[in-house]
């Protein structure tokens, strides 16, 4: 008969701190990408935006969906 040992991790103080730190870093990274995406799209003229299927008044919403919800610009 085989004996298997299992380990159940307990959420300690350091686990919580690391998790919070990692979440904060991911959020910071997403904000930077969102801001850069909006800036880059706002630099495009209306013809270029039309080529990728975005109207100027949709830039922030489409950038948010792309960064936070993994939706592509093109529909």
Instruction: Categorize the per-residue pLDDT at 11 as very low, low, confident or very high, splitting at 50, 70 and 90.
Output: low
Domain ranges, residue 35: 14-69
Residue 5 domain-assigned (yes or no): no
The string over 11-38, giving b where at least 16 C-beta atoms fall within 10 Å of a residue's C-beta and e elsewhere, is eeeeeeeeeeeeeeeeeeeeeeebeebb
Instruction: Categorize the per-residue pLDDT at 18 as very low, low, confident or very high, splitting at 50, 70 and 90.
Output: confident
Among 26-30, 44-48, 49-53, 68-72, the range scoring the smallest mean pLDDT is: 68-72
Residue 59 domain-assigned (yes or no): yes
* Cβ 56 vs Cβ 41: under 8 Å: no
Q: How far apart are CA 48 and CA 44, in angstroms?
A: 6
Residue 34 domain-assigned (yes or no): yes
pTM greater than 0.85 (yes/no):
no
Residue 23 domain-assigned (yes or no): yes
Q: How many domains does the chain have?
A: 1
Residue 54 domain-assigned (yes or no): yes
29: left (phi > 0), else alpha (psi -120 to 50), else beta? alpha
Q: Which has more confidence, 62 or 3?
A: 62
Q: Which has more confidence, 12 or 47?
A: 47
């Amino acid at each position: 008969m085989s004996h298997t040992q299992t380990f159940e991790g307990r959420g300690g103080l350091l686990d919580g701190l690391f998790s919070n730190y990692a979440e904060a870093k991911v959020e910071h990274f997403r904000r930077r990408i969102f801001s850069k995406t909006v800036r880059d799209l706002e630099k495009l003229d209306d013809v270029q935006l039309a080529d990728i299927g975005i109207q100027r008044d949709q830039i922030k919403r489409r950038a948010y969906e792309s960064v936070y919800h993994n939706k592509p610009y093109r529909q």
